[in-house]
Amino acid sequence: MPDLITLDEAKLHCRIDDDYEDVMIKAYIDAALEVCQKHIGKRFDNGLDFTAAIKIGCLMYVSQLYEYRTMISDVEAKELPLAISALWSVYRDMGMY
pLDDT in tens, the chain (97 residues): 579 999 999 999 999 999 999 999 999 999 999 999 999 999 999 989 999 999 999 999 999 999 888 765 555 555 678 889 889 998 987 765 5
DSSP state at residue 45: G
For 6, the enclosing helix (H) or strand (E) is none
Provide the CB-side half-sphere exposure for 88 (13 A, CA): 26
Domain ranges of the chain: 7-96
Q: Which of 38, 89, 83, 93 is nearest to 61 (CA)?
A: 83
Q: Which of 65, 55, 57, 53 is nearest to 21 (CA)?
A: 65
The CATH class of 7-96 is mainly alpha
| Per-residue model confidence as pLDDT tens digits over 23-41 | 999 999 999 999 999 999 9
pTM of the model: 0.83
